[in-house]
Amino acid sequence: MTKTSPLSKVYIVSDALGGTAERVFRAAIVQFTDEAMVAVERVTYVRTKEAVDRVVASAANEAGAMIVYSLVRETLGEYLWTTAQVRGIPIVDVLGPMIQGLSHVFGRAPQEVAGLTHRADGNYFQRVEAAEFAVRYDDGKDPSALLAAEVVLLGVSRTSKTPLSLYLANRRLKVANVPLAPELPLPASLSAAAHKVVGLTIAPEALLSIRKKRVGSLGLGESAGYASWPRIIEELAYARGVFDRVGCPVVDVSHQAVEETAEHVLTLLKRRRQNPTG
């Protein structure tokens, strides 16, 4: 931004936390200039005309100021708009046009309850927390996570445990996954978490193809035991034995997209909730 830029500061005015209006502003400003060159100040919980007057007065005293707002009360939004226009302050209503459009579609007035977006954002933060959980406890990094997890995935290498964990995290589920191999000890906490466990299996032919591609990409050559038929048969047999001992349901991931496997897992979880002793 040059020194002659018409915009130096933006007041984000909201009757809640202002996150929605600020995200919209930042998404738009980068089309014109480096957003870091524009000072942004959030003015939150603006719910009275007196509060509106204060922010307009501040903006009027700031050279190159602009107001971006998200106020769900139409009358307060109109008051802010009019007051800013009188003082010659550029102003943008973020929510108004969308609310008006939806009001026409639904044939009724909006609730005009401040903070509903923030409540909806709770789902977002749950997804973030679940994703962090999945990454932190991926591939058996910490066996103690099995007790805190909502779902525990067991499977040999290349049965989509990690992508499935992250997909389920987007559904706000805390997922831990544990790799299975004859030489790897099972976590001591596995028996206590048995009611959360879902086993993942795969057709040996499909696993062989996947592992050959994997070792090829790593430059290990076809001689790697990891991608040999005897090793695959041994691992799958071992995994089946673990599944039987744990008594967990098993999902076959052969030739399935992660989304399809996730739906199978979610169906199993739903059945468990409906019949926890079954």
The pLDDT tens digits for 169-213 are 999 999 999 999 999 999 999 999 999 999 999 999 999 999 999
What dotted CATH number matches 122-274? 3.40.50
The answer to whether 194 touches 246, Cβ cutoff 8 Å, is yes
What are the pLDDT digits (tens) for 126-185? 888 899 999 999 999 888 889 999 999 999 999 999 999 999 999 999 999 999 999 999
Supply the pLDDT for residue 72. Answer: 82
C-alpha 76/C-alpha 43 separation (Å) is 15
Within a 10 A sphere around the Cβ of 176, how many other Cβ atoms? Answer: 32
- Sequence-distant (6+) residues with CB within 8 A of 63 are 8
The amino acid present at 93, given as its one-letter code, is D
Supply the pLDDT for residue 112. Answer: 61
What 3-state class would DSSP assign to 144? coil
C-alpha 173/C-alpha 167 separation (Å) is 9
The model's confidence at residue 4, banded by pLDDT at 50, 70 and 90, is low
What are the pLDDT digits (tens) for 94-105? 888 887 787 777
Q: Per the structure block, which two tokens stand in for 6?
A: 């018409």
Q: Given CA atoms 252, 256, 258, 262 in this order, what sign does their dihedral have? A: negative
- How is the chain split into domains, by residue range? 9-114, 122-274
- Which range has the worst mean pLDDT, 57-61, 68-72, 110-114, 267-271? 110-114
Helices and strands (H, E) in the chain, number of each type: 10, 8
Q: Is the pLDDT of residue 116 over 80?
A: no
Q: Per the structure block, which two tokens stand in for 172?
A: 């706000």
Fold type of domain 9-114? Rossmann fold (3.40.50)
Q: What is the chain's mean pLDDT, rounded?
A: 88
- Sequence-distant (6+) residues with CB within 8 A of 19 are 117, 118, 121
C-alpha 273/C-alpha 72 separation (Å) is 38
Supply the pLDDT for residue 1. Answer: 41
Supply the pLDDT for residue 217. Answer: 81
The percent of residues in the chain predicted with pLDDT above 70, rounded, is: 91
Supply the pLDDT for residue 117. Answer: 55
C-alpha 233/C-alpha 225 separation (Å) is 12
Mean pLDDT on 61-76: 91
Write the secondary structure of 87-134 as one string of H (helix), E (strand) and C (coil).
Answer: CCCCEEECCHHHHHHHHHHHCCCCCCCCCHHHHHHHHHHHHHHHHHHH
The model's confidence at residue 92, banded by pLDDT at 50, 70 and 90, is very high
- Sequence-distant (6+) residues with CB within 8 A of 36 are none
The model's confidence at residue 125, banded by pLDDT at 50, 70 and 90, is confident
The model's confidence at residue 2, banded by pLDDT at 50, 70 and 90, is very low
The answer to whether 166 touches 218, Cβ cutoff 8 Å, is no
The answer to whether 114 touches 47, Cβ cutoff 8 Å, is yes
C-alpha 25/C-alpha 20 separation (Å) is 9
Q: Pairing mode, if any, of strands 9-14 and 65-70? A: parallel
What are the pLDDT digits (tens) for 17-44? 888 889 889 989 888 887 778 899 999 9
C-alpha 136/C-alpha 176 separation (Å) is 9
Supply the pLDDT for residue 150. Answer: 95
Which of these, 63, 71, 65, 74, lies nearest to 41 by C-alpha position?
Answer: 65
